[in-house]
Amino acid sequence: MAEVTYREAMSAVLAEYLEKDDRVFIMGEDIGAYGGSYAVTKGFLERYGEERIRDAPIAESVIAGAGLGAALGGMRPIVELMTINFSLLAMDQIVNHAAKLRYMSGGQFSIPLVIRTVSGGGNRLGAQHSQSLEGWYAHVPGLKVAVPSSPYDAKGLFRAAMEDNNPVLFVEHSLLYGVRGEVPEGYYEVPLGRSALSRQGTDVTVVSYSRMAHLCRQVAEKLAGEGVSCEVVDLRCLRPLDLAPVFQSVTKTHRVVLVEETWATGGFMGEVASQIMTQAFDHLDAPVVRVAGKEVPMPYSRPLELAALPDEESIAQAIRDILA
């Protein structure tokens, strides 16, 4: 298998669908001449033209609404919102319309809409541009929320999203674009709503998603040198949510550490913890431990930003503590 970056995997799968389906087009801010804020659509305007690569004004509600209308009209749009922070300006279109129209129409309408967006901190972009809000959208029935942590999952999950007739919020982390990983050359899909057992272990179950899942795999490798065996589960999707691998892992390890980048209060891992307590309580030998970001708006200062985010050491220490 070829080793590619997360960015290259996303660029390749976008090009794949533009080339094989005339109903597909991409619409968003700076995706054309600029090549995308994270260079994922670099060269696309020259290759596919203005009809397929549509630079949009700074108007997220219009972008999401136009994408929704195009999906209702039989197109298969890919809408790009520059960051998930800006999706707040399009919440009515996403939550009140895209997520509900198929249900409210009794299945008469399909909404084959993929909304690409970027989440997470670590780029010194300040409090208004560094939030991880994917858990908010996972709260909404009718939406699917994908949060890939590797190039393999990014490409496979995006294919599954494009083949789905429901709206999918496809959330990429800004610090993952340079991460490299093996990706098959042939066609494959990663089903939406199927978690992955990233690493087998016996001492503790570590559950996460997106960039934190990537960090958890690195922590597990390092702790193996200390004689600690971590089993890592990558959720890959927040809705549909597949916790069967987590429950199965808990019956083996009897300890769980849940890791997410956003704030613990109202965080998505609170739901995961609740379901573990309901479904696997008798197998726990210690309380469920959560690792999350600090309860502050993201600082601009680099040292403070790093202090606000979970890192490898804070994850490793949580694992050591639960084993102690």
139 has catalytic annotation = no
pLDDT at 276: 98
Please give the torsion angle defined by the CA atoms of residues 14, 19, 25 and 28, in that order, rounded to the nearest 10 degrees: 40
Q: What residues contact residue 60 under an 8 Å CB cut-off, 6+ apart?
A: 81, 86, 87, 89, 90
What does the domain layout of the chain look like in residue ranges? 2-183, 196-323
Dihedrals phi, psi of 49, to nearest 5 degrees: 85, 170
pLDDT at 286: 97
Class at the top of the CATH hierarchy for domain 196-323: alpha beta
Query: Which one of 60, 80, 260, 305 is the catalytic residue?
Result: 60
pLDDT at 1: 83
Looking at the whole model, is its pTM more than 0.85? yes
Q: Do 2-183 and 196-323 fold alike per CATH?
A: yes
pLDDT at 94: 98
Peptide bond into 240 cis (omega under 30): yes
What's the rounded Cα separation, in Å, for the pair 75 and 297? Answer: 38
46 has catalytic annotation = no
- 2-183: CATH topology: Rossmann fold (3.40.50)
Query: Which one of 8, 29, 129, 305 is the catalytic residue?
Result: 129
Residues of the chain with pLDDT under 70: none
